[in-house]
Amino acid sequence: MRSLYLFFGKLTLEKKALLLTLTPVLTVLLNTTPMLIGLAILILIDLITGIRKSLHEKNLSFNLFKAHFWRTLHSKGMRDTWRKTYEYGIGVIVFAVFESMIFKINPISIGSTAFTLTELAVVTATLVEIYSIFENMEAVSGNNILKKITFLLPAPIRKLLTGKDDEIAKDDIKDVPDKEIPDER
């Protein structure tokens, strides 16, 4: 207890003000720790699948013990990963500041789960990473499971992902013979 008193006793007024200012932001960020860890894991998986995609495009095998594996790695992909991680981190911090200091709102309910703005920012980054992982896997295998299950999504989200108005309706209409529509005058 005495060490806590000494710590705060030696802080200047400016440092105390800074500490009090950052406390709400740190609290919001600490509440999203599991989500941030999950995002970090997905970024790592995206990096690995990106390396695999790069090796596949060069017709090389993914083998850590072979010299060609290490010779083909270039810093551009690593720089892109670090840049993306940095941008996600800045975005999450901006939302944490916005949520805790400027726009103090209650969590937003989506379905049966409530999310804060910061959590929604992390979820958005997570969804981008998941899509990127599946794109890398598609480049290697030719199949994208995520694109194959888009029919399960609501129409607006399906249109956002596929760029088509209503993919299911068009697929269902293919088998129906064309009928001439009478002119209504």
Mean pLDDT computed over 85-99: 88
Q: Both tokens of residue 100?
A: 């805790």
In 3D space, the residue among 85, 57, 55, 50 whose CA is nearest the CA of residue 68 turns out to be: 55
- pLDDT tens figures, 119-133: 888 988 998 898 889
Which DSSP string corresponds to 145-161? Answer: HHHHTGGGS-HHHHHHH
Which pTM value belongs to this model? 0.68
- pLDDT tens figures, 37-78: 999 999 999 988 888 888 888 887 777 777 777 777 777 777
DSSP state letter for 141: H
Other beta carbons less than 10 A from residue 39's beta carbon: 22
Percent of the chain residues topping a pLDDT of 90: 9
What residue segments make up the domains of the chain, in order of their start? 21-142, 144-176
d(CA 106, CA 117): 9
Is the CB of residue 140 less than 8 Å from the CB of residue 59?
no
Where residue 160 falls among pLDDT bands split at 50, 70, 90? low
Q: Which pLDDT score is estimated for 172?
A: 41
